[in-house]
Amino acid sequence: MTVQSRSPLISPSILSADFARLGEEVRAIDEAGCDWIHVDVMDGHYVPNLTIGPAVVKALRPHSEKPFDVHLMVSPVDNWIEPFTGAGADIITIHPEAGAHVHRTIQAIRSAGCKAGISLNPGTPAKMLDYLIEEIDLVLVMSVNPGFGGQSFITSQLKKIEAVRRMIDKGGHEVLIEVDGGVNADTARQCVDAGADVLVAGSATFEGGAERYGENIAALRGERA
């Protein structure tokens, strides 16, 4: 197991924010010290839920200069690359199962000026990255099945984080490992010890209201607010 000594980047998922006041919520987590803003996009087809589209991302863009970390849980995915890059996404992560030609989709994301990520569902093996790792900037390990917030962490995914970490380190790739699903102050440390660089946290960030966001983010980093 690889044990990381540095603090992870924190990317709060606005899926757990108050949707009636999203702009204020984005400003609040920005001011509380988050590193990225995580945007979960669901289409009711690839996953059994509907969330937000590019118009909402565009509306939120003026509320923070932090990188917008957009996770597309949509299929087919290719038609949505340009709308989200145009709306202000900085990072776009896709699922390899969501399109016919994942390599071409990654090229389209990078050609549009965004960083590109691949997301691995709990049942998707790390080996899926064998011929993609040199083309991407981010690997998102899903520690729950995608589609809903508030799920419990699937501990078997820690082995996958370790496997991806070995792959990155062995090849000398400049690729970040992000983890999403059931991340809280306890599971955060397990993820970082396994090799994660970035943690997505929805419920654990937004719990308690804006006055708690700074404390919550610090706890995810293993720090005191």
pLDDT in tens, 87-131: 999 999 999 999 999 999 999 999 999 999 999 999 999 999 999
Q: Is the pLDDT score of 31 beyond 70?
A: yes
Residue of 35, 43, 78, 180 marked active site: 180
Domain of 124, in residue numbers: 9-221
Cβ atoms 119, 132 nearer than 8 A: no
Give me the percent of the chain exceeding a pLDDT of 90: 91
**E-strand spans in the chain?**
9-12, 37-42, 68-73, 91-94, 115-120, 138-142, 176-180, 198-201
Exposed, middle or buried: residue 170 (CB in 10 Å: 0-12, 13-18, 19+)? Answer: exposed
pLDDT at 5: 54
Residue at 2 is within a domain = no
Taking the chain, what is the end-to-end CA distance rounded to the nearest angstrom? 28
The pLDDT-based confidence of 3 (bands split at 50, 70, 90) is very low
Give the tens place of pLDDT for each residue, 137-160. 999 999 999 877 777 899 999 999
Residue at 169 is within a domain = yes
Rounded Cα distance between 113 and 94, Å, is 15
78 is catalytic: no
Residue at 21 is within a domain = yes
Residue at 76 is within a domain = yes
The pLDDT-based confidence of 2 (bands split at 50, 70, 90) is very low
The pLDDT-based confidence of 1 (bands split at 50, 70, 90) is very low
Residue at 4 is within a domain = no
Tally of domains within the chain: 1
18 is catalytic: no
- Of 107, 106, 110, nearest to 119 (Cα)? 106
Residue at 211 is within a domain = yes
Phi-psi region of 68 (alpha: psi -120 to 50; beta: other; left: phi over 0): beta
Residues in the annotated binding site for a divalent metal cation = 38, 40, 71, 180
CATH number at residue 190: 3.20.20.70
Q: What is the mean pLDDT of residues 59-65?
A: 98
Residues 6+ apart with CB under 8 A from 197: 4, 8, 9, 176, 177, 178
Residues in the annotated binding site = 13, 38, 40, 71, 147-150, 180-182, 202-203
Phi-psi region of 172 (alpha: psi -120 to 50; beta: other; left: phi over 0): left
Q: Is the pLDDT score of 14 beyond 60?
A: yes
pLDDT at 224: 62
The pLDDT-based confidence of 223 (bands split at 50, 70, 90) is confident
pLDDT at 62: 98
Residue bearing the bigger pLDDT, 198 or 48: 198
Residues in the annotated binding site for substrate = 13, 71, 147-150, 180-182, 202-203
Mean pLDDT of the chain: 94
Residue at 102 is within a domain = yes
Residue at 105 is within a domain = yes
Residues 6+ apart with CB under 8 A from 176: 9, 137, 138, 139, 197, 198
pLDDT at 184: 96
Q: Which two tokens stand for residue 36?
A: 């990225």
Task: Count CB atoms within 10 A of the CB of residue 201.
Answer: 28
Residue of 40, 69, 78, 197 marked active site: 40
